[in-house]
Amino acid sequence: MTEQNEKQTKRLVVRLATAAIAMFGFGFALVPLYDVFCEITGLNGKNFNQGPAKVSSVDRSRTVKIQFVTVNPASMPWEFKPNERSIRVFPGQDRQTAFYARNPTAHWMVAQAVPSVTPSEAAPYLHKVNCFCFDRQPLEAGADIEMPLLFVVDPKLPEHISTITLSYALYDLTEKQNVTHTIPNKNKGQVTL
């Protein structure tokens, strides 16, 4: 290998190695990129818009059926169900409802509700003004609670969508109290003891 060749090879190898490390970083960058992509397209029913929604007008020409569904994942013993199974709202109209939760076990527990919307096309149009899924919900042994949800449907919802289903999976976080959130998600509140 001539002298000049060696220098060339060294330069090329350094460039290729940095490319490999850059792609390793890109693998991790895919995580926030995925969240941004979800926010735009509502991919996988993820729903990010929290807080007061600046809605122009109430569109009384059509009603949208909002359905509530609950799931207790991974042997979560709490009793957890919506007070109203499904309701009809006008797009742009603020609506309040509540979810009932009871901790039947003999020890203190804390849980986190994870929302998901279907059809995923409708996810960007469902604004959760105030939701119990913003914070972790602690419950003493045997206690129960009415958890509020205030939401509004954006009038710009496409015409062909007439039913939106909002599901909540209630996860038990009692052991994993100190689980730091992977992505600084806006809706991660503190444990209210």
Partner 1 sequence: MATVDVDLPHVKEEDQHHHGPAKGLGRWLYTTNHKDIGSMYLIFSLCMFMIGGIMALIIRAELFQPGLQLVEPNFFNQMTTMHGLIMVFGAVMPAFVGLANWMIPMQVGAPDMALPRMNNWSFWILPFAFLILLSSLFMPGGAPNFGWTFYAPLSTTYAPESVTFFIFGVHIMGASSIMGAINIIATILNMRAPGMTLLRMPLFVWTWLITAFLLIAVMPVLAGVVTMMLMDIHFGTSFFNAAGGGDPVLFQHVFWFFGHPEVYIMILPAFGIISEIIPTFARKRLFGYASMVYAVASIALLSFVVWAHHMFTVGMPLVGEVFFMFATMLIAVPTGVKVFNWVATMFRGSLTFETPMLFALAFVVLFTIGGFSGLMLAIAPADFQYHDTYFVVAHFHYVLVPGAIFSIMAATYYWLPKWTGHQLNETMGKIHFWLSFVGVNITFFPMHFVGLAGMPRRIPDYALQFADFNSMASVGAFIFGFSQLVFIYNVIQNVRVGEKATAQVWEGAQGLEWTVPSPAPYHTFSTPPKVD
Partner 2 sequence: MTKAITLAISLIAAPASADWQINMNQGVTALSREIFDLHMLIFWICVVIGVAVFGVMFYSIFKFRKSKGAVAEHWHENTTVEVVWTVIPSIILIAMAIPATATLMDMYDTSEADVEIQVTGHQWKWRYQYLDEDIDFFSNLATSRQEITNEAAKNPNYLLEVDNPLVIPANKKVRFLITANDVIHSWWVPHFAVKKDAIPGFINESWVKVEEPGVYRGQCTELCGKDHGFMPIVVEVKSEADYQQWVSDQRAMKLAMAGEASKEFSMNELVAKGEGVYNTACAGCHQPNGQGIPGAFPAITGSTIATGAIDTHVDIIINGKSGTAMQAFREQLSAVDIAAVVTYQRNALGNSVGDLVQPNTIKN
Report the candidate in 133, 113, 59, 127 with the shortest Cα–Cα distance to residue 90.
Answer: 59
| Residue 107, binding choice from partner 2, partner 1, none, Cβ under 5 to 8 Å by partner class | none
Residues of this chain, 32-61, that bind partner 1 according to CB under 8 A: 34, 38, 41-46
Shortest reach from residue 137's CB to partner 1, in Å: 13
Q: Which stretch binds partner 1 (CB under 8 A): 8-16, 57-65, 92-100, 142-150?
A: 8-16
Confirm or reject binding of residue 130 to partner 2 (CB under 8 A): no
Residues of this chain, 50-79, that bind partner 2 according to CB under 8 A: 65, 67, 69, 71-77
Q: Are 120 and 176 a contacting pair, CB within 8 Å?
A: no
| Residue 182, binding choice from partner 2, partner 1, none, Cβ under 5 to 8 Å by partner class | partner 1
Confirm or reject binding of residue 12 to partner 1 (CB under 8 A): yes
Q: Which is nearer to partner 1, 41 or 130 (CB)?
A: 41
Task: Name the CA dihedral angle for 74, 148, 165, 162, rounded to a multiple of 10 degrees.
Answer: 180
Choosing from 20, 54, 75, 193, the residue that interacts with partner 1 (CB under 8 A) is 20
Q: Are 152 and 92 a contacting pair, CB within 8 Å?
A: yes
Residues within the interface to partner 1 (CB under 8 A) = 1, 5, 8-9, 12-13, 16-17, 19-28, 30-31, 34, 38, 41-46, 73-74, 112, 114, 118-121, 169, 171-173, 176, 178-183, 185, 188
Residues within the interface to partner 2 (CB under 8 A) = 44-46, 65, 67, 69, 71-77, 85-86, 104-106, 114, 116-119, 121, 160-163, 165, 167, 169, 171-172, 174-175
